[in-house]
């Protein structure tokens, strides 16, 4: 591809470097913008050549207008059975994050990727290569389209833990989704007068003549590129309209750019849910948990506890920004304003809270549709009424015997946070909530116990670094291979993973470190059945963690950490649970696990690995060697 790709298509006429958008609407839009935002918009307009500008104010009426526009173009359809709910079907080539086309752009390669390798822990692109890639893609890319200007806040506006952004996009689907997922309001525009912001530029990469907006899901999969420039606080995303590739407040900003900021400013930006849990006596604790994509964060964050008297409340289901306060207490905010949750597997049994909240004001993407205007997916466990037929995410007639999934495995719902019936009272607290436990976890069909506790902070950081999990449909990977996914951040690191580990280790200086745990809901028996019922029953594990923090639950030492002493985890009333199989730590499995971990850390992190991590690895190897 070369710089004149769009010109060759007859789409981009060069009309000097005049600021080319000048309808009366556009002019009044621009007058409202704070100077730095205006400069950002002007440069983007010159580069991308949109036909029109639209400044998003985030109002209800504006949302309705944009949804109606999308509907009139056939880009979304109304779901009549639900209230103000919509279905988007993407181009089948644009259904998930594309890690292979996601890059960090920094002056020095070492600042972006560990071990000097473009490996599984991120990809680096040089500034020169990025300039070329940008020149190959962005000139004229918005021709025929409107550029939406979206000022947004990640986190409560004016919280010391929050940060601002402006996304410019030619996708109205992105505009309506950003209005659900982030705080978009005139207040943000005011705040932008004083505060710096992250500059986010997004294009679907399909310029068109104004009259022809017919493509139902414009995208350019062959040239997709998602580039983060942490040193200048910029994001450039081209070619994909889907989720984390295009809703730039989420993974690109709140994880990749923010983790870089967090390191410089002494805080943490993590792929973690935040929940509050209250025991029958009314004592409450907040916990965060990092599981890789599609491994159960949304489910845990909204859990309906199976133990009587216990209550779980949700602060967030995907991202936590955390900082130790002056008292040495770790505090967390959810920078997001909505949920972008996995649909398949969501049912009134597994997640009744989510099922209730998605009945209104929700945008579904790539789920199946019933002929009476409802939604359908694998595991919804609700038979459609007699005579009702189903169309799949590919808009083809579908029955259970069709031999292909009804919903794409990475299909999602996009719903406002405030519709969650168990939203925590402190969800919008600018100070954040106090965190007492950090939980890591993954999908491990073999070998990894239901729960274990780290011996101390350093060992806990090592447990995060050692995380592995089965691949899921949230990214482009195929099959069920077990991948290294340290801290559930593998696709989201904004800087060298070795430096990231050093940053986590440096938190040891604070007076009240939360305890660190590892959980695994996904261990299977020899015939492939889950050993643990999961979902609402996971509260039994949280209950044990709760009592551990209070100093009330017994644990015993194993080679990998502290597991519940026999009888300490409350499994009464669960029926058949094979405790032995759930908690066994087998020598053969862990020998192989530790070997893989050493290969990974040496190969991918190399000299950037902090010495403390090598020490932890050696100690684990020694403990595993002593296993019977």
Catalytic residue among 137, 251, 263, 515: 251
Q: Where are the beta strands (DSSP E) in 258-376?
A: 268-270, 273-278, 284-290, 311-316, 320-324, 330-333, 338-342, 363-365, 368-370, 375-376
Of the candidates 98, 312, 126, the one whose C-alpha atom is nearest the C-alpha of residue 224 is: 98
d(CA 303, CA 30): 45
97 lines the binding site for ligand SPV (CB under 6 A) = yes
> Does 521 interact with ligand GTP (rule: CB under 6 A)?
yes
Residue entry with tokens 């730039």: 248
- Asked whether 340 and 48 are in contact (CB, 8 A), the reply is no
Interface segment toward ligand GTP; rule CB under 6 A; list 40-48, 106-114, 287-295, 461-469: 287-295
Task: Tell me the backbone φ, ψ of residue 540, rounded to 5 degrees.
Answer: -65, -35
| Residue closer to Mn ion (CB basis): 293 or 513 | 293
Nearer to Mn ion, 313 or 318 (CB): 318
Q: Give the number of other CB atoms < 10 A from CB of residue 595.
A: 12
Residue 295 known to be catalytic: yes
Cβ-based neighbours of 567, under 8 Å, separated by 6 or more: 554
Site for ligand SPV in 217-246 (CB under 6 A): 243-244
Residue numbers 467-486 binding ligand SPV by CB under 6 A: 474
Name the catalytic one among 51, 318, 424, 485: 318
CA 258 to chain CA centroid, Å, is 13
User: Catalytic one among 173, 238, 242, 495?
Assistant: 242
> Distances from the Cα of 605 to the Cαs of 82, 497, 505, in angstroms?
49, 7, 16
> Whole-number minimum distance, CB 409 to ligand SPV, in Å?
12
Do residues 19 and 33 lie in contact, with contact meaning Cβ atoms separated by under 8 Å? Answer: no
Query: Which residues, 241 to 300, sit near Mn ion by CB under 5 A?
Result: 293
The residue from 412, 503, 515, 523 that is catalytic is: 412
- Known catalytic residue: 153? no
Q: Which among Mn ion, ligand GTP, ligand SPV, none contacts residue 535 (Cβ within 5 to 8 A by kind)?
A: ligand GTP
CB nearer ligand SPV, residue 146 or residue 334: 334
CB 393 within 8 A of CB 116: no
Residue 115 Cβ, how far from ligand SPV at the closest point, in Å?
24
- Interface with ligand SPV includes 408 (CB under 6 A)? no
Catalytic site residue 242?
yes
- Judged by DSSP in three states, 303 sits in coil
Work out whether 474 is an interface residue with ligand GTP (CB under 6 A).
Answer: yes
Binding of Mn ion by 317 (CB under 5 A): no
Give the distance from CA 347 to its chain's centroid: 21
Q: Does 293 bind ligand SPV (CB under 6 A)?
A: yes
Please enumerate in sequence order all residues whose Cβ is within 8 A of that of 570, keeping only pairs 6 or more positions apart, or say none.
307, 540, 543, 544
592 is a catalytic site residue: no
The nearest distance, CB 270 to ligand SPV, in angstroms, is: 12
**Residue 345 interacts with ligand SPV (CB under 6 A)?**
no
Does 412 participate in catalysis according to the annotation? Answer: yes
Residue among 318, 436, 470, 485 that touches Mn ion (CB under 5 A): 318
Nearest to 607 by CA among 462, 498, 485: 498
Query: Using CB under 6 A, which of 179, 251, 260, 548 touches ligand SPV?
Result: 251
Query: Which one, of 469, 441, 520, 621, lies nearest residue 120 by Cα?
Result: 469
Per CB under 6 A, residues contacting ligand SPV are 97, 243-244, 250-251, 293, 318, 340, 474
Catalytic residues: 97, 242, 251, 271, 293, 295, 318, 412
Where does this chain bind ligand GTP (CB under 6 A)?
Answer: 291, 293-299, 317-318, 341-342, 344-345, 350, 474, 521-522, 530, 534-535, 538
């Amino acid at each position: 591809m070369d710089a004149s790709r769009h010109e060759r298509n007859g789409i981009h006429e060069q009309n000097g470097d005049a600021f080319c958008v000048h309808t009366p609407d556009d002019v009044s839009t621009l007058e409202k913008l704070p100077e730095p935002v205006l400069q950002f918009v002007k440069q983007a307009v010159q580069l991308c050549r949109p036909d029109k500008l639209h400044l998003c104010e985030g109002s209800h009426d504006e949302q309705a207008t944009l949804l109606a526009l999308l509907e009139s173009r056939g880009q979304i359809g109304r779901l009549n059975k639900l209230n103000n709910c919509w279905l988007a079907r993407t181009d089948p080539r644009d259904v998930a994050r594309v890690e292979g086309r996601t890059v960090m752009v920094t002056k020095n390669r070492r600042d972006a990727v560990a071990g000097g390798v473009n490996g599984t822990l991120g990809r680096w692109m040089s500034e020169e290569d990025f300039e070329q890639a940008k020149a190959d893609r962005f000139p004229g890319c918005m021709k025929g389209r409107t550029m939406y200007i979206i000022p947004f806040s990640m986190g409560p506006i004016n919280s010391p833990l929050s940060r601002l952004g402006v996304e410019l996009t030619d996708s109205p689907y992105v505009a309506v989704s950003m209005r659900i997922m982030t705080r978009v309001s005139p207040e943000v525009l005011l705040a932008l007068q004083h505060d710096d912001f992250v500059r986010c530029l997004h294009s679907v990469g399909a310029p068109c003549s104004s009259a022809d907006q017919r493509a139902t899901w414009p995208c350019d999969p062959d040239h997709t590129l998602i580039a983060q420039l942490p040193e200048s606080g910029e994001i450039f995303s081209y070619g994909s309209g889907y989720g984390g590739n295009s809703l730039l407040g989420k993974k690109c900003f709140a994880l990749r750019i923010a983790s870089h900021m967090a390191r410089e400013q002494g805080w943490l930006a993590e792929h973690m849910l935040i929940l509050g849990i209250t025991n029958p006596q009314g004592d409450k604790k907040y916990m965060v948990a990092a599981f890789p994509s599609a491994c159960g964060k949304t489910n845990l964050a909204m859990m309906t506890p199976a133990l009587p008297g216990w209550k779980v409340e949700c602060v967030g289901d995907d991202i936590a920004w955390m900082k130790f306060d002056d008292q040495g207490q770790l505090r967390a905010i959810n920078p997001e304003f909505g949920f972008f949750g996995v649909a398949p597997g969501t049912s009134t049994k597994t997640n009744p809270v989510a099922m209730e909240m998605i009945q209104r004001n929700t945008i579904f993407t790539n789920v199946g549709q019933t002929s009476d205007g409802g939604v359908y997916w694998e595991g919804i466990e609700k038979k459609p009424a007699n005579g009702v037929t189903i169309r799949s995410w590919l808009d083809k007639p579908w029955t259970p015997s069709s031999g292909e999934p009804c919903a794409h495995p990475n299909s999602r719902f996009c719903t406002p946070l405030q519709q969650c019936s168990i939203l925590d009272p402190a969800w919008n607290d600018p100070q954040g909530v106090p965190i007492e436990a950090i939980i890591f976890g993954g999908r491990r069909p073999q070998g990894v116990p239901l729960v274990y506790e780290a011996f101390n902070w350093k060992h806990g950081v090592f447990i995060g670094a050692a995380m592995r999990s089965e691949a899921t449909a949230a990214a482009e990977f195929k099959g069920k291979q077990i991948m290294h996914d340290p801290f559930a951040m593998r696709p989201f690191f904004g800087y060298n993973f070795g430096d990231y580990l050093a940053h986590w280790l440096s938190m040891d200086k604070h007076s009240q470190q939360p305890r660190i745990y590892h959980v695994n809901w996904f261990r299977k028996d020899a015939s492939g059945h889950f050993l643990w019922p999961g979902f609402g029953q996971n509260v039994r594990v949280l209950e044990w963690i709760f009592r551990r923090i209070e100093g009330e639950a017994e644990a015993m030492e194993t080679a990998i950490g502290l597991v519940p002493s026999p009888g300490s985890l409350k499994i009464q009333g669960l029926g058949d649970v094979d405790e032995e199989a759930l908690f066994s730590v087998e020598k053969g499995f862990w020998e192989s696990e530790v070997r893989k971990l050493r290969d990974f850390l040496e190969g991918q992190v190399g000299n950037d690995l902090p010495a403390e991590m090598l020490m932890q690895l050696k100690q684990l190897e020694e403990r595993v060697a002593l296993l019977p």
